[in-house]
Structure 1
Amino acid sequence: MKTNKLTSAVRLAIGAGAVTATMPVAQLATAQEQMIEEVVITGSRIRRPDLEAVSPYTTVDAEEFQLSGTINVEQKLNELPQTLPAFGPSSNNPGDGTARVDLRGLGSSRTLVLVNGRRWIPATQTGVVDLNSIPGTLIKRVDVVTGGASAVYGSDALAGVVNFEMIDDFEGAQITGLYDITDEGDAEKYNMDITMGGNFADGRGNAVVYASYSKREALFQGDRSFSDVALVESGDRLVPGGSSGVPGTRIFGGPAVPGAGFDLGTFGPNGEALPWIEPDSRFNYAPDNFLQLPQERYLVSSFAHYDVNEHVRTYGEFAYSYNKVPQELAPTPAFTTVEINPNSAFLSADAQAALNGAVNEDGESLLNDDGNYVAFIGRRMVENGSRQSIDVRDAFRVLVGVDGDINDNWSYDAYYSLSNLDNSNALNNDVSASRFIQAVATNDAGTACQDPSGGCVPLNIFGAGNISQEAIDFVNIGATNITSIEQEVIQASVFGDLFTLPTAEYPVSVVLGYEHRRDESSFRPDTFLASGDVLGFNAGEPTIGSYKATEFFGEVSVPLLQGAPLAEDLTLWGAARTSDYSNLDDRVNSFATAINYAPIESVKFRLGYQEAVRAPNVSELFGGNANGFPGADDPCSAGGFQPGVTNSDLCVATGVAASQVGNFTQANSQIEGRFGGNPDLTEETSNTYTAGVVWQPTDSLDITIDYYDIEIEDAISVLGGSVTNVLDLCYNVIQNAGSAFCQAVNRRADGNVDFVNVLNANIGTIETSGVDFNVYYSTDFGFGIGGNGSTLDISLNGTYLDEYDVTPVAELSDRVDVCAGNFGNTCGNPLPEILVNTRATLRTGAWTFSGLLRYIGETDDDQIENAGATDLVVPTIDDEYYLDLTVSYAFEQGLTLSFGGLNVLDTEPTALGDSQQQANTFPETYSLFGPRYFLSASYTF
């Protein structure tokens, strides 16, 4: 039977490129009549059921979440080949309690998240949406558009759009619950939802109310064998390592201990002098860190609409979310410069002798005028307890709108929305830097501080467990920081048909619209945090800013030819947007065009070009200075020095002793970076080319292949792209002490890097290209449980990543970081060349059996391709397979039970050393917990 245009469009929206397409082909004819009023082509605002997608896209339907036993929607989205895992349930350090989605690995701030086609609540000053605030049970489907969509949806859509279509016409009541636990009996998850809705006013209106409660229990890195020890690279193997901030106190560059044959490196429990032994002396911080962050979440949502008359429909939305996510880190590592009384009773005789006898190369005493020894130390404050960072986000959103038909050809839509979020961040068990320094300098007896002001209590840091509770009470501090975010959106649009060309069957369609958006936010840090008087958490300064955007946009779809020989359909599509941002000097413009050509009904070609822009957000523009600790390599150290490449003289000129260049051991694998906003940022632009083919050889088989090529110019990032890049550019590439990159590097007296200033900047380019391939097959069988036949659906969704290159400095076009197929301190999360998801679902009678097989291709340490490294301990992360299985049964009384197992093959991540993110791996990319099992129930009445 020949399918008509609407059926073809519906089939594409459901099948082609879909992760799961749950509607059997046999039902399409019925679906045509049910869906005609709700089909909205993703990637365009034009409401034409005959217009097929103009950009590569993927659809995830509600059943995929049910089959996966997913409480948090980011976990399912992060499995898509088109996304790079962002912050999620295992993002402890770094992390901020949010859950995000990152299309094409281009960054969460370049991915626009919408709900029902409209902007959702921003959760950070970067404008990123916390997916925790989206009610999972109400999701009808998720449409993912990749390849740039700024012309259609706005600035943030440079990488693409993730749109959550919600159920807004529910009738009846539904209660759902889920319990999830690992095979080791830990890391539980609980979820309970209730949805109620119904029609009113003789069917002219409908209202839906939804409430949800979720809880996720904590799991520590110490609870799994692959993460219970912080691993480092030593020689040709991974060995237990950790931090140089130790409970016994590390003293850097300590003096020789008389008659002992070693330099003072750390202290025993009675203050005795001990040597520093690599890596045995290091502190294992891993067990104190979360592997799964605990969470408690409440959601309340409502949707309503009412047909006033045949031309006017009013609608409204309300959402409230409360989300509490703690992070927990090992006790504060106090890295700071202190004055030590060499005659202190806290020290043993050999330690006193070493400090009193400390001299420089000229034989001069190193004691200062007060008779104290000045040292840079690392002290792990285990007596103070683990550091806690507790994020609580309260958010609400209200939206009111009106839409309807003007006449048979024209319709309109207008709405106003207001979103507000307050984020309270409590920091517990930090240490005051000033009080710590004050309390270390004591009298000879150790009974009083040399500076007794403020009630100072002597602090005995010489040996593990020696700090008194009174001293802890003196140095312990907490902080409460408040972030407030408000977004206001006004949008109005009209859409309709103009005329029909003589060669076409369908009219030319247009959309014209206006949007005004106001974004305002503030970050108000605690006094201690703002002053920088903290040792355990990243210092931060206030961030206050706002901007407004006024935009006009339009789209046009021009059917050029239909029903002709070798031209079943030929349609030209275009979109444009002009934006006036209050924080930019000039207007910015985006436009897009695409041509869809179907020589025959079963084959369609699509070719597109989009020029997109992204204006800097509040955080990027106005963010106060803050520090962080990314993994980085010091080129002047033994581990980072490259003979014949690294400039030794420059190392000496910037603070490394000549004898130590290429010889000293980097104190920590993490190096402090100081980050902050830049009000002089300009917009970044992107050019995206797409080319694809859609082939439907039969009614039961859809195949799509899409090529994409994206280039971002003037990309907004940190100076040089990363701390590692700045160090590399300074010492290995530019090699000029006066360059901005060398000026950003600050070293301590012992030669180690103290910190690197990497404020926001418009850097060079980011280029990525690849191919998406999707297959959907569905077939019916005449046999099955209950004698009613059965249906088998198979979907495959994959991506081949051909290129992901970053040019951190526009003027140095030959300096390119190659990241496709790589991972590490330069490229970050693994970017496999091949990612594939395959799901097979069999429905027979009341039973559903489903399996999902995920494949993540192998990746190499980015030092191999970008720095020529040949002696890495773990050069490659192996490819991984994950298998999830689910079975469900639908009772006649409205009850459905599902049972599933995730990662049933018990696939464990490859253990990493220096080139990891956290927990000896990349925890949002790879499954960490072993097999998980879930039981869910849904009762509708």
Structure 2
Amino acid sequence: MLLKRKYLFGTTILASVMAAMAAPAFAQTTTPPAQDQDATEVEEVVVTGSRIRRDPTTSATPLIQVTGEELQNTGLATVIDYLATIPALANSQVPSDTVGSVLNATGLSLPNLRSLGANRTLTLVDGRRHVGSSFGGLSVDVDTIPRLLIQNVEIITGGASSVYGADAVSGVLNFQLRKDFEGLEIDATAREVNQGGPYGGRISALAGANFFDDRLNVYVFGEYEKNDEITSLDIDWVRRANTLLGVDADPTATPYDGFIDAQLFQNVVRLDNPRWGQVTLANNQQPSPLNDPDVAQPSTTCPDVTQVTNVSCYSVDPTKTYWFDGGSARLANFGTRVGNTGANRGFNIGGDGENPAEFTFGSRVPDSESKRFQVGANFELTDNIHGLLEAKYISEDSFQRSQPTFFDVFLLDGTDSGGTTSGRLRTQTNRLRGTSQFDLRYSDNAFLPANVKAAIAANQIQNYNNPTTAAPGTPGAVTAGPTAQFARHEMFGPDRYQENHRELQRYVAGLTGEYDRVGFVNNLTWDISYTFGQADNLNNEFTVESQRFALAADAVVDTAGIVNGKPGEIVCRVQLLNAQNPALATGSASTTGLYDYVRGGDLRSSATGRGNIAQCRPLNIFGKGNQSAEALAYVKDKTFVVQQNQQEDAIATVSGQLWDFWGAGPLGVAIGAEYRKETAEATGRSAGVGDRFVFGNGSTDFPKRSYETEEYFGEISLPLLRDSWMGEYAELSGSYRTSDYSTVGKQDVYGVNLVYRPISDITFRSSLNTSIRVPSLGENFSLASQTFVSFVGDPCATSVINAPGLAADIRQNRINNCGALAAAKGLTFDFAGATPQTTDDFAPVYSSTVAGVNSGNPFLQPEESESFTFSTALQPHFFPNFSLVLDYYEIEITNVINAVGALAVAGNCVNGPTLNTAACATIFRNDPTPGRAFYVGAPAGDPIGGFIQGSVNYAKRTVRGLDFTVNYGIETADLIGHDWGMLRYRLAGSWLIEQKNFTDIANPGVFTESASTVFFPRVRMSSTLSWNPTDRLQIQWVADWQSSQDIIFARDFIANSDSRPTEYLETGNFVRNDFSVQYDLQDNLTLRAGVTNAFDAEQAPWIGTTLDSNFDPYGRRFNIGINWRPY
């Protein structure tokens, strides 16, 4: 870090020294204001970052302060939404980050300092720990802290483990609550949470009273808050369906051909995977011409029914794809087809299809309802001893819709393993291939329109030759292919959604003593407290039971009325077979009878199977709106998980002042001890699922696990000088903590701080702190649980290996290593893209996510970090009401614990000079589907799936940057000669110099740079201009600005400079403007109103419909509020 610190002197020091040199010259000629000369007494308090009472101006740690009034007056929906506007907290987890595939965490609001992860930010309440809301972890949902009770929030932007313990790697948020409140205060707000609705609101009440000559203060708090769900189609720019699509495909060996490869389209619809589906007959696509612009569509091969699950057989085609209107079907209207690269070109404008954003997420912000209560008492036992009691209860309910269920239904009348249309499927249950794939007999299905049945029966595949270099503009010649009596019905089905019910309770009891002098110790204070917290979460996931879905879809006409005595009734085939009472199925899956593809044997052999037969209701899966309520009720299912975190924390501290050795001030000392126990347990989904075949996420029980820690800490502050020829003030301080964990043993951390004020106008601060983060219970002990990951971008795909921007050495390594993996399976692909044709490329098409497991790692080691800060604070007396603060920081974390995603692990497997055996051992290329032998995947029923995903200790993570804050205030009378009140201005921002992740265990020197990429702007600033024309009125303008972020680095673009228009390389600068007004109608009644994102700023359209929460996505919205203090 030494070299990096030298960089500091080109930024902070330069500005600081210049200011320091200028200030004395003015000091010699300028007389300080009278009030400054008189203000020699400064109250010493405990400031976040230290347990020693001190003058706040001598704090050695950079602090950001947010007042409770700011949190109340904001028009943003949650506390975390407001905190996330602070540049240092910009990537905090806001509610919109908890939707989609996120499980069990809907609505959690977690602060994330320096974008290093919420689990590396320690959140305290009045300096005490708070139970974590994220299961098995310590991250605190700050929206469980009652907003009206918050006095202020003090934020340390640097490591502080030696003072507060583990997890303060990137910093600390300390929520300081109001004390000794007397009276009644009611605060209410109503707001739009999205332009034009939906809406949200909150009402809070705080009442307090003093008793026994003000020796006892009791308060009661209650709050109710409701925020409506925001769906994808509630957001206007998402409805416009901005989509960047390929229009020219460059051969991998020649990435630049002078034709722009991608263009932006609006109002796009997608017809290849709509709600309740479309049917595409098996087909081959004609190869594209070789001249530009080209489709780069290879000749597909789909010879017969043995390829029924090969997705290459089902490219949507104007002559092969059927769209459903009510109960009928017709060839799909492809409108103006756009995005004409690849075989499966499903995008169009003006034709059939649906907004592609509709099925990425259902909810963009969850629906939430919260009830928060807190009671407390502060009391004087004696003149020197004070007591504290506090109890809090929070109840929160949230709801979100995730991506709907999705199915590939293969329509064929052949046997399970291929071959002829023998008709044997008439007398057996339809084959389940997985939770989202099954076969369905088409010829006698009661709901499939007759014209589609006839088309499948007559379907013939066309084979094509590839175009020749002699005639590059001529498509390949057509040759007749085989009859292919099969098709695929690709569809999104019923919604999946989650309901979370959380309850949190926290209890605090403490005693504090204060004495002017005890023996040789002055200003002695002691504090002892005990905190118990418990967070409970019940998550219900509503989905479908896949076996029931397949059985219900297999609907036939009961001509003779065998099932219910109603001739001509549509029934489930499984009920008809059961009524006909065939012989019990035994042996292979293709045996005649009611075979159970989930549990094996006869479907009637299990209680679940018998129930699935008896309750079956025929389901029409062909076309939106054709489903009966009874059939939907039959297929729907629910899984649940029950989770609990518990925290016990007992802490005792003693602090005081000792001797003043040389007149600079007394020596400050604090010592203490802490005991903490963290416990977690959960009942997993698997316990409630039993032997049902549920579409969704499985998880095993989490047995009760806990760890304990005993910690001892100390802190000392040594004033070096005061009012000396060497300067006005200087102080050296240090802190040390030793901890003994039951899981990872003994850990030691320390901190050293220096404050130097050469003159009253300028102060320098510097700190060096070490911190640790101990593996959470979830990271250590989670049992294997099912999850799903997209493998689009498979690192062995030929197109990915040869994509612009991939380093040459990694490209060559992937060619070699992927080749070795393929050779081990007896396969050969052109990974290098060396041949002009693409038929020999490895070109995987993952039509859905891949199932695998998440698992804990009991061998994780603690993270260790070192943070360095250097700060300059300038308050020139010759420039009244002005201040400038510059905070340089750098943090390096080693042994970083991170759940490296399965796709990243697949990359680590092949990125190095040789195969990374540890990474490769967790990625399984075992997909049994014909034509997919090298795909990541596993056979149906495999307990692991295609990958194992878990936490590991990898090399390190580094970040460095510069925070800056400018404050200025001036009376308008001094500015323009007229008294129109007071103007105040504040500019707070951060310059991110670098943020690097070293995640490749096999190549620890290889890193990815996050700085300047999306979510990590180089510069982010918040500008606040306040005008108080009278004592009762305040008007405020806040502009939240962030610099443009790289979508593709320019250095990567050079290698393929026609990949997109140059303006699409970056997001463009983004600014959100908020305006608010606050008026004191009476001394006890305040009204407020505001508009957020007043100019309706939107993210750049070429980003697409992905919701990047740092670009305010919700448009112009209004809010109003009232604060009433009747007594």
Q: Name the residue aligned to 1:839.
A: 1024
State whether structure 2 residue 277 is matched by structure 1 residue 248.
yes
Which range is displaced more, 92-101 or 659-668? 659-668
State whether structure 2 residue 376 is matched by structure 1 residue 303.
yes
State whether structure 2 residue 399 is matched by structure 1 residue 286.
no
Change (3 A) 1:680 1:344: farther
CA RMSD of aligned residues (A): 3.7
Structure 2 CA distance, aligned partners of 1:722 and 1:29? Answer: 61
State whether structure 2 residue 779 is matched by structure 1 residue 620.
yes
State whether structure 2 residue 670 is matched by structure 1 residue 511.
yes
C-alpha contact 1:793 1:842 (8 A) present in aligned 2: yes
Identity of aligned residues (%): 24
Q: Specify the code of the residue in structure 2 equivalent to 1:380.
A: F
Q: Specify the code of the residue in structure 2 equivalent to 1:351.
A: I
Shift of 1:866: 7.7
Shift of 1:661: 6.0
C-alpha contact 2:61 2:767 (8 A) present in aligned 1: yes
For 1:102-251, list aligned pairs within 5 A. Answer: 102-125=112-135, 126-181=137-192, 184-228=195-239, 229=241, 231=243, 233-235=245-247, 236-239=262-265, 240=268, 245-246=273-274, 247-248=276-277
Q: Name the residue aligned to 1:760.
A: 951
Deviation per CA, 1:532-577, whole angstroms, max 9, x where unpaired?
A: 9666533322223211111111111111222211222121111111
State whether structure 2 residue 982 is matched by structure 1 residue 791.
yes
Deviation per CA, 1:354-409, whole angstroms, max 9, x where unpaired?
A: 69999xxxxx9999xxxx98x9985421xx3x222111111111101000125522
State whether structure 2 residue 860 is matched by structure 1 residue 681.
yes
Q: Specify the code of the residue in structure 1 equivalent to 2:1040.
A: R
State whether structure 2 residue 1068 is matched by structure 1 residue 878.
yes
Q: Secondary structure, in 3 states, of the residue corresponding to 1:226? A: helix
Change (3 A) 1:863 1:342: farther
Structure 2 CA distance, aligned partners of 1:882 and 1:764? Answer: 37
Deviation per CA, 1:334-365, whole angstroms, max 9, x where unpaired?
A: 3634344465545713424669999xxxxx99
Structure 1 CA distance, aligned partners of 2:281 and 2:780? Answer: 38
Q: Specify the code of the residue in structure 2 equivalent to 1:162.
A: L
Shift of 1:707: 0.9
Q: Name the residue aligned to 1:329.
A: 402
Q: Name the residue aligned to 2:250.
A: none
C-alpha contact 1:855 1:879 (8 A) present in aligned 2: yes
Q: Specify the code of the residue in structure 2 equivalent to 1:680.
A: F
Q: Name the residue aligned to 1:730.
A: 909
C-alpha contact 1:256 1:354 (8 A) present in aligned 2: no
Change (3 A) 1:111 1:184: closer
Structure 2 CA distance, aligned partners of 1:865 and 1:798? Answer: 27
C-alpha contact 2:304 2:483 (8 A) present in aligned 1: no
Deviation per CA, 1:455-480, whole angstroms, max 9, x where unpaired?
A: 33466656666666555444321122
State whether structure 2 residue 97 is matched by structure 1 residue 76.
no
Q: Name the residue aligned to 2:1007.
A: 816
Which range is displaced more, 401-410 or 236-245? 236-245
Q: Secondary structure, in 3 states, of the residue corresponding to 1:849? A: strand
Change (3 A) 1:468 1:209: closer
Number of residue pairs the alignment of both structures matches: 883
Q: Secondary structure, in 3 states, of the residue corresponding to 2:167? A: helix
Structure 1 CA distance, aligned partners of 2:530 and 2:842? Answer: 63
C-alpha contact 1:257 1:353 (8 A) present in aligned 2: no
For 1:62-73, list aligned pairs within 5 A. Answer: 62-73=68-79
Q: Name the residue aligned to 2:100.
A: 93
Structure 2 segments unaligned to the other structure (5+ residues)? 1-32, 248-261, 284-301, 306-311, 316-320, 333-342, 409-435, 464-480, 559-570, 575-593, 596-602, 605-609, 804-810, 830-837, 938-945
Shift of 1:595: 1.1
2:1077 to 881, 887, 894: 887
Structure 2 CA distance, aligned partners of 1:28 and 1:524? Answer: 63
Q: Name the residue aligned to 2:539.
A: 425
Shift of 1:631: 7.9
Q: Specify the code of the residue in structure 1 equivalent to 2:233.
A: G
C-alpha contact 1:566 1:600 (8 A) present in aligned 2: no
2:573 to 444, 448, 454: 448
Q: Specify the code of the residue in structure 2 equivalent to 1:349.
A: A
Structure 1 CA distance, aligned partners of 2:907 and 2:959? Answer: 23
Change (3 A) 1:636 1:329: same
Q: Secondary structure, in 3 states, of the residue corresponding to 1:802? A: strand
Q: Specify the code of the residue in structure 2 equivalent to 1:649.
A: G
Q: Name the residue aligned to 1:524.
A: 683
Change (3 A) 1:604 1:612: same
1:804 to 995, 998, 1011: 995
Shift of 1:307: 1.0
Q: Specify the code of the residue in structure 2 equivalent to 1:187.
A: P
C-alpha contact 1:532 1:540 (8 A) present in aligned 2: no
Deviation per CA, 1:310-349, whole angstroms, max 9, x where unpaired?
A: 2210011121111111111242123634344465545713
Q: Specify the code of the residue in structure 2 equivalent to 1:427.
A: E
Q: Secondary structure, in 3 states, of the residue corresponding to 1:682? A: coil
Structure 1 CA distance, aligned partners of 2:1080 and 2:35? Answer: 19
Shift of 1:423: 0.9
Structure 1 CA distance, aligned partners of 2:396 and 2:902? Answer: 32
Shift of 1:662: 4.4
Change (3 A) 1:533 1:192: same
Structure 1 CA distance, aligned partners of 2:691 and 2:855? Answer: 14
Q: Secondary structure, in 3 states, of the residue corresponding to 1:667? A: coil
Which range is displaced more, 405-414 or 730-739? 730-739
Change (3 A) 1:82 1:118: same
Change (3 A) 1:569 1:854: same
C-alpha contact 1:529 1:539 (8 A) present in aligned 2: no
For 1:4-19, list aligned pairs within 5 A. Answer: none
Shift of 1:204: 1.7
Q: Name the residue aligned to 2:4.
A: none
Q: Name the residue aligned to 1:338.
A: 438
Q: Secondary structure, in 3 states, of the residue corresponding to 1:98? A: coil
Q: Name the residue aligned to 2:60.
A: 54
Shift of 1:722: 3.0
C-alpha contact 2:791 2:846 (8 A) present in aligned 1: no
Q: Name the residue aligned to 2:1111.
A: 926
C-alpha contact 1:479 1:529 (8 A) present in aligned 2: yes
Shift of 1:416: 0.6
2:889 to 702, 708, 731: 708
Q: Secondary structure, in 3 states, of the residue corresponding to 1:730? A: helix
State whether structure 2 residue 723 is matched by structure 1 residue 563.
yes
Structure 2 CA distance, aligned partners of 1:355 and 1:433? Answer: 31
Structure 1 CA distance, aligned partners of 2:738 and 2:1078? Answer: 50
For 1:542-581, list aligned pairs within 5 A. Answer: 542-544=701-703, 545-581=705-741
2:846 to 667, 670, 673: 667
C-alpha contact 1:174 1:196 (8 A) present in aligned 2: yes
1:412 to 526, 531, 548: 526
Change (3 A) 1:543 1:934: same
Structure 1 CA distance, aligned partners of 2:706 and 2:858? Answer: 12
Which range is displaced more, 341-350 or 216-225? 341-350
Q: Specify the code of the residue in structure 2 equivalent to 1:348.
A: K
Structure 1 CA distance, aligned partners of 2:686 and 2:406? Answer: 21
Which range is displaced more, 625-634 or 852-861? 625-634
For 1:447-526, list aligned pairs within 5 A. Answer: 447-449=572-574, 450-451=594-595, 453=604, 454=610, 455-456=612-613, 457=616, 461=621, 471-502=631-662, 504-526=663-685
Structure 2 CA distance, aligned partners of 1:243 and 1:633? Answer: 23
State whether structure 2 residue 865 is matched by structure 1 residue 855.
no
Which range is displaced more, 265-274 or 91-100? 265-274
C-alpha contact 1:491 1:514 (8 A) present in aligned 2: yes
Structure 2 CA distance, aligned partners of 1:859 and 1:798? Answer: 16
Q: Specify the code of the residue in structure 2 equivalent to 1:64.
A: E
1:393 to 497, 502, 520: 502
Structure 2 CA distance, aligned partners of 1:665 and 1:282? Answer: 24
